[in-house]
């Protein structure tokens, strides 16, 4: 059995007396498309934060690409290939849209031993990425001039700019129209075809169902299902606890 | 150096009384910083303002300073409401502008101090009250009334505020607002009114704390700066927003300062608070009674 | 000026400085050099503050502590072993930089507000320590006797003016170099959204420590010549509230996003204060600065530079 790209064992996180995550185990193979669903407050974002290093988990291990992640800061995990987009977009407000993408290129890509891009290459890559998400025309604008949808695309582009092996998209499609959801889905499928493993956290069921090879369900901090979308949807526990739209 | 037990006991007792006073000084910041996430570093300036208000009423009308403070409560409340309104309009609504908010309060701190210097000069001011000179003696322990009275009223103040927060409708609304900030950002204007009330209360406490201060020691405008370190040290040590923790931390700080002061000299007092603050920040940012 | 290469900027800055100094030597009045020293000193302080404040978003209320540490390290050296002023500047920078690093290490892993509060308390504590330290004169202060001959020029105050001018050019040059560099982008990302910066691969703690150390070091360097300038230094004047307020007010009023802002703020406010100290009381003087600070924070947060920029943008439409 090939080693998984991401291995999570017994992950636990508490906030005071409240248990947000209760012993989560998860394996994601390289190149897989995994969907993560669960009701609001089930711990999805907490899980993402613990995986990426924004929060420190109290128990359990996270192993990425064979390396133990415990104790590594978020920026180190990003440099090792783990990227995430934020649920509520967090752009760099004082920089232009294009400059927003410079940051991950300067600090994630260029920090790697094999990753040195020259200034011209960085400029080119910024524009390439903007084109990829359809923001090519908005390169010189500031994030505050973008629409909500465009900000989400920028958010995704910034995560992709880090040249990740694993991309965790945290509710990137919330509030988007039907065709916009299709756009993002197409983008994610393209990225996956290029070799990027993707964990998609979403509430929009049709997107998750069509996108995922495997579906993981989180309820009240516990994983209650983990299998193909068809199996999971038929799982009575999942039906009982959560079945969205 | 021989540590006389009597001296130690006196120092500890004085420290406890001092700690009660520190609790009153800090409770305002516990509300504004601990519950509302507003870094009001100008709070000590309002306390000094309260001291001078008590001084004026005492010197001109012979009013007891604590009575004067109660008279000033509505004035300070209104002042707090006004300041919050400005803060909210300028800073909170535009999003996360922590830097400018800090600069704003620093400016207020500064302006207040300099204005007081211009009006009153740098001479020390003090009040005349019936109990200022009297000291009760219990064996080796001295209880100067000028420390005991503020201590007693401080404790009453803390209990009163705790009851208000737990039992009254507005009090519970304030607690709710402090715990759910994300919900706050997604909601409409109503929480603003609650926060304004809370901030106004925090400034009102400064009126009382100011009266306590000028009873305990003579006051001049720059004293406020000594209290910034103490106030935030107590807040962080006691856990932001927790009143019992605040009282415990205040008493602890009071005792350590008093003992240090007695055996090493009073000029080291500000360093004690800062040492506490640094230690707490480095070791246990959640505070004594925190999570 | 925006497109100028770094090396060109440094050359131009030194050239401007040289011309400025040359012209200054024509002024017969020594008072010009006394006042000019203060304004140049504020340029360094404001620029230093802005590297941590305007660029990185962390507010330092304790500039006086770093500044005074530089001044008092000179006092210590004066009592131990007389050294030339430029060397004292370096020593002041090293000491203040080290303190900045230490304090940053303790407080920068927490929220920005805690860092700011810690800087406030730091100022009080350093002042307490120095006031209690008899070797440097404690609260009674220390007397410094200037050397009989100034190196290069003969007139000692002109010499100090030159030292401070060079320091100002260096500080501004550093600020501008940072602005256009990878480091500057890193700082901006931290200021705008630290969590997102960290997720994008920016080593936020390391960069914040760089900013704090650099800022503290420059402030210490600005303070190092002070004892020779005033010839009598006591904690009250070394830790004067004016330093803390001015180092915040000047970048804020001038404009925090660019290297020009602190210069504009320092020249504007510094000149006003130099004139005002002669005519009105220093307390009223400081009150005006404080009021201007609050006014600008509320109304024009991007300072004079920001106002000019929005004028230009409006005219372009």
Q: Is residue C288 part of a domain?
A: no
Distances (CA, A) of A196 to A43, A48, A145, A227: 24, 17, 30, 20
Closest to C97 (Cα-Cα) out of C266, C265, C210: C210
Q: Nearest CA to CA, how far is C126 from chain B (Å)?
A: 8
Domain count, chain C: 1
CB contact under 8 A, C192 and A91: yes
Mean pLDDT check: name the lowest of A69-83, A119-133, C113-127, C252-266.
C113-127
Structure confidence by residue, pLDDT tens digits, A220-240: 888 888 999 988 888 888 888
Element of type H or E holding A37: strand A33-37
Domain boundaries of chain A, sorted by first residue: 6-241
Q: How far is CA A78 from the centre of its chain?
A: 11
Task: Identify whether C154 is part of a domain.
Answer: yes
Structural domain includes residue C186: yes
User: In chain C, which residue's Cα lies nearest the Cα of A79?
Assistant: C201
Q: What is the DSSP letter of A4?
A: P
Q: Is C203 left (phi over 0), alpha (psi -120 to 50) or beta?
A: beta
User: CB C110 to CB B281 under 8 A?
Assistant: yes
Name the helix (H) or strand (E) containing A13. strand A6-15
* Residue C15 in contact with partner chain A when CB distance is under 8 A: no
What is the domain extent for residue C140?
31-240
pLDDT digits (tens, 9 = 90+) for B268-288: 777 787 777 777 776 665 544
Has residue C163 been placed in a domain? yes
Helix (H) or strand (E) holding C214: helix C204-223
Query: Chains near B, with 3+ CB pairs < 8 A?
Result: C
Which residues are paired to B128 by β-bridges? Answer: none
The alpha carbon of residue A209 and the mean position of all alpha carbons in its chain are separated, in whole angstroms, by 17
Neighbours of A25 (CB within 10 A): 12
- Count of CB atoms situated within 10 Å of the CB of A180: 15
Does C196 contact A92 at a Cβ distance shorter than 8 Å? yes
Task: Please indicate if any CB of chain C lies within 8 Å of the CB of B229.
Answer: yes
Chain B: nearest CA to C154, how far in angstroms?
40
| Optimal mutation site among A73, A92, A99, A115, interface C, most CBs of chain C within 10 A | A92
Q: A142 to chain C: which residues are within 8 Å by CB?
A: none
Touching partners of A (3+ C-beta pairs < 8 Å): C
Q: Do C297 and B104 touch (CB under 8 A)?
A: yes
C202 to chain A, any CB pair closer than 8 A? The answer is yes
Contact A91 C205 (CB under 8 A): no
Which residues from chain C sit within 8 angstroms of residue A94, using beta carbons? 188, 191-192, 257
Residue of A74, A76, A84, A126 to mutate for C, most C C-beta atoms under 10 A: A74
CB B134 within 8 A of CB B70: no
A107: nearest CB among C192, C195, C201: C201
Within 8 A of B100 by CB-CB distance, chain C residues are 297, 301
Helix (H, G, I), strand (E, B) or coil at C38: helix
B174 or A138, greater pLDDT: A138
Asked whether C304 and C253 are in contact (CB, 8 A), the reply is yes
CB C301 within 8 A of CB B100: yes
DSSP state, residue C281: -
Minimum CA–CA partner of C54 in chain B: B99
Asked if the C-beta of C310 comes within 8 angstroms of chain A's C-beta atoms, the answer is no
Contact between C186 and A108 using a beta-carbon 8 Å cutoff: no
pLDDT of residue C226: 94
Question: Residue B79: what pLDDT?
Answer: 95
Residue C9 lies in a domain: no
What is the rounded distance in angstroms from the CA atom of residue B106 to the CA atom of residue C248? 10
> Spelled out in words, what is the top-level CATH class assigned to the domain A6-241?
alpha beta
CB nearest C248 (choices: B106, B118, B277): B106
Residue C84 located in a structural domain: yes
Share of chain A above pLDDT 90, in %: 51
Give B-chain residues touching C294 at CB under 8 angstroms.
104, 107-108, 111
Neighboring chain C residues of A74 at a CB cutoff of 8 Å: 198-199
Q: What is the 3-state secondary structure (H, E, C) of B128-161?
A: CCCCCCCEEEECCEEEEHHHHHHHHHHHHHHHHH
pLDDT at A76: 95
Bin C133: left if φ > 0, else alpha if -120 < ψ < 50, else beta.
Answer: beta
Q: Which helix (H) or strand (E) holds A169?
A: strand A166-170
Nearest by CB to B99, from C59, C107, C131: name it: C59
Task: Tell me if C20 is assigned to some domain.
Answer: no
Asked if B228 lies within 8 A of C106 by C-beta distance, the reply is no
Name every chain C residue with its beta carbon within 8 A of the beta carbon of B113: 241
Q: Do C124 and B229 touch (CB under 8 A)?
A: yes
Q: Which residues of chain B have pLDDT under 50?
A: 96, 189, 287-291
Structural domain includes residue C224: yes
> Residue C59 in contact with residue B102, Cβ under 8 Å?
yes
Q: Can you give the pLDDT at residue B189?
A: 42
Looking at beta carbons, which residues of chain A come within 8 Å of C189?
Answer: 92, 95, 103
Q: pLDDT per position in chain C (317 positions), as tens? A: 566 778 888 888 888 888 888 888 888 788 888 888 999 999 999 999 999 999 999 989 889 999 999 999 999 999 898 888 899 999 999 999 999 998 888 777 777 777 888 888 788 888 888 888 888 888 888 888 888 777 777 678 888 999 999 999 999 999 999 998 999 999 999 999 999 999 999 999 999 999 999 999 999 999 999 999 999 998 888 888 888 889 999 999 999 989 999 999 999 998 888 877 777 777 788 888 888 988 998 888 888 988 888 888 888 76
Instruction: Residue B100: name the closest of C296, C100, A233 by CA.
Output: C296
Contact C188/A at CB under 8 A: yes
DSSP A109: I
| The pTM of the whole model exceeds 0.90 | no
Nearest CA in chain B to C293: B107
Distance, CA of C26 to CA of A77 (rounded, Å): 60
Nearest residue of C to residue A48, measured between CA atoms: C199
In this structure, are residues A96 and A139 in contact, taking their beta carbons and an 8 Å threshold?
A: yes
Instruction: Give the DSSP per-residue string, C42-107.
Output: HHHHHHHHHIIIIIT----S-HHHHHHHHHHHHHHHHHH----HHHHHHHHHHHHHHHHHHHHHHH
Contacts of A122 in chain C (CB under 8 A): none
Please check whether residue A91 touches C, CB under 8 A: yes
Burial string for A206-229 (b: 16+ CB within 10 Å, else e) reads ebbbebbebbbbbbebbbbbbeeb
């Amino acid at each position: 059995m090939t080693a998984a790209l991401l291995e999570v064992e017994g992950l636990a996180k508490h906030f005071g007396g409240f248990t947000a995550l209760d012993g989560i185990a998860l394996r994601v193979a390289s190149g897989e498309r995994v969907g993560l669903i669960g009701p609001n407050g089930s711990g999805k974002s907490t899980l993402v934060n613990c995986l990426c290093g924004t929060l420190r988990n109290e128990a359990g291990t996270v192993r990425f690409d064979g390396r133990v992640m415990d104790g590594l800061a978020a920026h180190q995990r990003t440099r090792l290939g783990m990227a995430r987009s934020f649920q509520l977009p967090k752009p760099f407000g004082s920089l232009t849209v294009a400059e927003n993408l410079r940051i991950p290129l300067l600090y994630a890509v260029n920090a790697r031993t094999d990753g040195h891009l020259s200034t011209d290459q960085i400029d080119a890559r910024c524009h390439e990425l903007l084109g990829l998400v359809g923001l090519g025309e908005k390169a010189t604008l500031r994030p505050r001039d973008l629409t909500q949808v465009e900000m989400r695309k920028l958010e995704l582009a910034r995560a992709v700019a880090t040249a990740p092996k694993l991309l965790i998209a945290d509710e990137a499609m919330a509030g988007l129209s039907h065709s916009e959801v299709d756009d993002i889905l197409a983008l994610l499928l393209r990225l996956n075809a290029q070799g990027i493993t993707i964990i998609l956290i979403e509430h929009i069921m049709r997107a998750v169902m069509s996108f995922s090879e495997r579906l993981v369900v989180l309820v009240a901090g516990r994983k209650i299902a983990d299998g193909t979308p068809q199996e999971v949807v038929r799982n009575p526990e999942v039906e009982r606890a959560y079945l969205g739209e | 150096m021989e540590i006389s037990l009597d001296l130690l006991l006196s120092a500890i007792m004085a420290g406890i009384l001092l700690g009660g006073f520190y609790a009153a000084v800090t409770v305002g910041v516990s509300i504004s910083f601990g519950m509302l996430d507003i870094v009001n570093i100008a709070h000590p300036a309002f306390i000094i303002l309260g001291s001078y208000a008590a001084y004026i009423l005492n010197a001109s009308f012979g009013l007891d300073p604590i009575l004067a403070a109660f008279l000033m409560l509505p004035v300070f409340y209104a002042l707090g409401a006004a300041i919050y309104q400005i803060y909210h309009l300028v800073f909170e609504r535009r999003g996360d502008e922590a830097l400018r908010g800090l600069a704003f309060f620093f400016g207020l701190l500064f302006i207040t101090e300099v204005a007081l210097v211009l009006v009153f000069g740098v001479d020390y001011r003090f009040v005349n009250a019936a109990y200022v000179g009297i000291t009760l003696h219990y064996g080796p322990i001295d209880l100067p009334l000028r420390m005991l009275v503020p201590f007693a009223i401080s404790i009453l103040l803390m209990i009163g505020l705790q009851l208000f927060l737990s039992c009254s409708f507005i009090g519970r609304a304030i607690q709710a607002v402090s715990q759910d900030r994300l919900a706050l950002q997604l909601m409409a204007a109503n929480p603003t009114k609650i926060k304004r009330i809370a901030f106004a209360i925090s400034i009102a406490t400064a009126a009382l704390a100011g009266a306590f201060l000028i009873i305990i020691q003579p006051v001049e405008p720059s004293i406020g700066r000594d209290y910034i370190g103490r106030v935030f040290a107590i807040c962080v040590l006691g856990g932001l927003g927790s009143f019992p923790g605040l009282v415990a931390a205040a008493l602890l700080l009071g005792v350590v300062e008093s003992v240090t002061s007695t055996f090493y000299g009073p000029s080291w007092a500000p360093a004690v608070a800062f040492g506490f603050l640094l230690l707490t920040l480095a070791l246990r940012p959640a505070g004594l009674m925190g999570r | 000026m925006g497109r100028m290469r770094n090396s060109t900027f440094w050359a131009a800055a030194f050239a401007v400085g040289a011309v400025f100094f040359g012209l200054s030597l024509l002024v017969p009045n020594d008072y010009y050099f006394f006042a000019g020293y203060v304004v140049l000193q504020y340029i360094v302080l404001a620029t230093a503050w802005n590297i941590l404040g305007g660029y990185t978003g962390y507010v330092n209320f304790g500039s006086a502590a770093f500044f005074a540490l530089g001044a008092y390290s000179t006092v210590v050296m004066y009592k131990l072993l007389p050294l030339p002023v430029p060397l004292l500047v370096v020593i002041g920078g090293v000491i203040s930089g080290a303190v900045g690093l230490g304090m940053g290490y303790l407080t920068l892993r927490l929220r920005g507000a805690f860092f700011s509060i810690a800087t406030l308390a730091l100022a009080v504590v350093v002042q307490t320590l120095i006031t209690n330290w008899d070797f440097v004169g404690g609260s009674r202060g220390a007397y410094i006797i200037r050397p009989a001959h100034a190196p290069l020029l003969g007139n000692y105050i002109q010499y100090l003016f030159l030292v401070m001018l060079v320091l100002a050019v260096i500080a501004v040059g550093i600020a501008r170099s940072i602005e256009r560099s990878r480091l500057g982008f890193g700082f901006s990302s931290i200021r705008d959204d630290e969590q997102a910066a960290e997720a994008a691969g920016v080593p936020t703690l390391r960069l914040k420590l760089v900013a704090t150390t650099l800022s503290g070091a420059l402030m210490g360097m600005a303070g190092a010549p002070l004892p020779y300038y005033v010839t009598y230094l006591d904690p009250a004047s070394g830790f004067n509230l004016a330093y803390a307020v001015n180092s915040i007010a000047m970048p804020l009023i001038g404009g925090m996003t660019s290297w020009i802002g602190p210069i504009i703020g320092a020249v504007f406010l510094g000149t006003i204060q130099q004139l005002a100290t002669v005519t009105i009381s220093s307390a009223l003087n400081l009150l005006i600065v404080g009021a201007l600070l609050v006014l600008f924070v509320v109304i024009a947060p991007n300072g004079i530079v920001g106002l000019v920029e929005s004028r230009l943008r409006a005219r372009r439409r």
